[in-house]
Amino acid sequence: MSIYFISDIHGCYKEFKLLLKKSCFDDKKDFLWIAGDLVSRGPNSLKVIRYLYSLKKRVKIILGNHDLNLIAVYSGVKENKKENFFDEFLSAKDSLELINWLRCQSFLKIDEKRKIIMSHAGISPKWNLDTAKKYALEIEECLSSKNYPSFLKSVFNNKINYWNLNLNKLDRLRYSINVFTRMRYCYPDGRLNLFCKKSPNLVQYPLIPWFKMPYNFPKEYSVFFGHWSSLKGIKISQPFFPLDNGCCWGGKLIMFRWEDKKYFSQSFQKNAS
């Protein structure tokens, strides 16, 4: 049994299946940990979701910002845009079943035995691990409830980029979603910058990559995350393991096997179907 980590598949189904074959992933005994953004940008979001749904207990999935966007589009909260490539998914006969499964996935995964943390974007420098678990669960409860469209209508907000214990529940949820699904840079005081997507090589102080901020979780944990394709080629010190190499932009899908600490990669396939 092996554990494989991957992120930001973005509907790149052909590359995803080629990577699984290349890494000798066994869907009968291995586990796949996916750090979000299963859909959008690439052409085959429906195939990706259907395949992962078929694996059921062999996958542990974190939701990313594009996965949330799909759920919001499906529920009528957000407009469907051409670059999403959602039309096939939205018209599929099993779309409701898949959406109901997707919205019951997690925003944070922690393996205390192996000392592993997985988030789509990251963990707030203002939080310890117990706080992160608490607010991930709060989002999960809202998204998996019957009233999830109302929740999604109110929760997207770029202005809630700061943390304090006096935030009301709605603003706390907004901040938590921004942390788990959208964060890249912080300011020295811990406030989030939700707009800059550039490589750290091109960005100057006062913007600081979130993983270079002082953090409050135990140092023996390894942290896997995606969301940030412009980190490609930048050396980042452990315990942080970025997994987004921008396959949907012509880059690569990468996968990390926990047991032997080995990386696998698959280049973007032009005209993949």
Lowest mean pLDDT among 9-18, 36-45, 230-239, 252-261: 230-239
Write out the two tokens for 272: 């993949």
Inform me whether the pLDDT recorded for 213 exceeds 80.
Answer: yes
Predicted local distance difference test score (pLDDT) of residue 272 = 57
| pLDDT over threshold 70, residue 155 | yes
The stretch 219-248 carries a mean pLDDT of: 94
pLDDT digits (tens, 9 = 90+) for 14-34: 999 999 999 999 999 999 999
Instruction: Return all residues near 100 (Cβ < 8 A) that are at least 6 apart.
Output: none
Residue 206's pLDDT is 97
How far apart (Å, rounded) are the C-alpha atoms in residues 257 and 3? 6
Fold of 3-267: Purple Acid Phosphatase; chain A, domain 2 (3.60.21)
Percent of the chain whose predicted confidence (pLDDT) is above 90: 93
- 273 has pLDDT over 90: no
Residue carrying the six token digits 């992120």: 7
Residue 127: HSE in the Cβ half-sphere, 13 Å Cα cutoff: 20
Q: Please report, for the chain, the start and end positions of each structural domain, with discontinuous segments joined by +.
A: 3-267
**53-63 pLDDT per residue, tens:** 999 889 999 99
pTM exceeds 0.75: yes
Could you tell me where the beta strands, DSSP code E, fall in 86-129?
A: 109-111, 116-118
Q: At what angle do helices 129-143 and 148-155 cross, to 10 degrees?
A: 120
At residue 25, the pLDDT reads 97
Tell me how many degrees the CA angle 35-37-40 measures, rounded to the nearest 5.
165
C-alpha dihedral (217, 218, 223, 228), degrees to nearest 10:
40
Q: What is the pLDDT of residue 186?
A: 98
Q: Determine the average pLDDT of the residues in 196-220.
A: 94
Strand 185-186, strand 262-267: pairing: unpaired
Cα gap 30→77, rounded to integer Å: 36
Q: Which two tokens stand for residue 165?
A: 């214990």
Percent of the chain exceeding pLDDT 70 equals 99
Q: Which two tokens stand for residue 218?
A: 């135990």
d(CA 136, CA 193): 20
Query: Do the Cβ atoms of 67 and 257 come closer than 8 Å?
Result: no
Statement: residue 271 has pLDDT above 80: no
